[in-house]
Chains A and B, each alone.
Chain A
Amino acid sequence: MTPETHPSQTWFGRWRATMSEMTFSAAICLGFLIIVFIIGIFAPWIAPYDEAQILTNDSFMPPSAEMWLGSDYLGRDVLSRLIYGIRITLFLALTISCLSFLSGVGLGFLAAVSGGRIDSWMSRFNDAMLSFPSLMLALIVINSLGSSFTVLIFTIALIDLTRVYRVSRALAVNVMVMDYVEAAVVRGEKKWWIIFHEVLPNTLIPLAAEFGIRFTYTILFISALSFLGLGVQPPQSDLGVMVKENMQALLYGEYTTLYPAIMIALIAVSMNIFVDWLLLQSSTKLPDEV
Chain B
Amino acid sequence: MSLLEILARRLLLGAGTLLFVSALVFFGTEILPGDVAYAILGQGATPELVEQVRDRLGLNEPLHLRYWIWLTNFLAGDFGSSLANGADIGTEVSRRASNTFILASCTALVAVPLAITLGLLASIKPGGRLDRSITSVSLALISFPDFMVAVILVTIFAVKLHWLPAIASIRPSYDVFDWIRILILPVTALTFTILAHMVRMTRSAVLNVLSSPAIEMAILKGVPRRRLMVRHALPNALGPIINVVALNLAYLISGVVIIETLFNFPGLGRYMVEGVTNRDVPIVQTCAMIFCTFYVLLNILADILSIMANPRVRYKK
Contact = CB atoms under 8 A, between A and B. Distances in A.
Interface of A: 128, 131-137, 139-145, 216, 220, 223-224, 227-230, 240, 243, 247, 250-251, 253, 255, 257-258, 261-262, 264-265, 268-269, 271-273, 276, 288-290
B241 to A, nearest CB: 12
B28 interface: yes
B295 A269 contact: no
Interface string B234-257: 000000000010010010011001
Contact of A269 (B17, B139, B152): B139
B247 A290 contact: yes
B29 A268 contact: no
B59 interface: no
Contacts, number: 130
B230 interface: no
A21 B274 CA distance: 50
B296 interface: yes
Contacts of B284: 139-140, 143
B151 A261 contact: yes
A146 to B, nearest CB: 8
B307 to A, nearest CB: 17
Given A258-B152, A261-B147, A264-B145, A228 B261 contact: yes
A216 B166 CA distance: 29
A224 B254 contact: yes
B279 interface: yes
A220 B279 contact: no
Given A228-B273, A288-B201, A131 B295 contact: yes
Nearest to B139: A272
Please give me the 7 A-B residue pairs with the lowest Cβ-Cβ distance, nearest first: A268-B143, A135-B254, A269-B143, A140-B28, A144-B31, A261-B148, A143-B276
Interface in B243-297: 244, 247, 250, 253-254, 257-258, 261-262, 272-273, 275-277, 279, 281, 284, 288, 291-292, 295-296
A284 B222 CA distance: 31
B159 A133 contact: no
Given A133-B292, A250-B159, A276-B139, A142 B276 contact: yes
A133 B254 contact: yes
Point out which of B142, B145, B281 has the most chain A C-beta atoms below 10 A from its C-beta: B145
Given A227-B258, A228-B273, A273-B139, A140 B296 contact: no
Contacts of B201: 288
A247 B21 CA distance: 35
B32 A144 contact: yes
A141 B27 CA distance: 10
A230 B140 CA distance: 26
B155 A250 contact: yes
A1 to B, nearest CB: 35
Interface residues of B, number: 50
Nearest to A220: B145
B13 to A, nearest CB: 9
Nearest to A145: B31
A246 B20 CA distance: 40
A141 B28 contact: yes
5 contacts: A131-B299, A139-B272, A143-B279, A228-B261, A264-B148
Is chain B's interface secondary structure helix, strand, loop, or mixed overall?
helix
A134 B276 CA distance: 15
A231 B277 CA distance: 11
Contacts of B32: 144-145
Given A128-B17, A128-B20, A227-B258, A136 B276 contact: no
Contact of A216 (B143, B147, B244, B295): B143
Contacts of A288: 201, 244, 247
B292 A224 contact: no
Contacts of B272: 139
B218 interface: no
Contacts of B28: 137, 140-141, 144
A111 B19 CA distance: 25
Nearest to B257: A135
B154 interface: yes
Contact of B151 (A143, A229, A243, A276): A243
A137 B144 CA distance: 22
A257 B144 CA distance: 14
Given A133-B295, A134-B254, 5 more contacts: A132-B24, A140-B24, A144-B32, A243-B151, A276-B139
B73 to A, nearest CB: 19
A110 B253 CA distance: 33
Nearest to B291: A136
Contacts of A142: 276
Contacts of A135: 253-254, 257
A220 B193 CA distance: 12
Nearest to B277: A229
B139 A257 contact: no
A133 B291 contact: yes
Contacts of A251: 159
A40 B315 CA distance: 59
Contact of B145 (A240, A276, A289): A240
B288 A224 contact: no
Given A139-B284, A250-B154, A230 B277 contact: yes
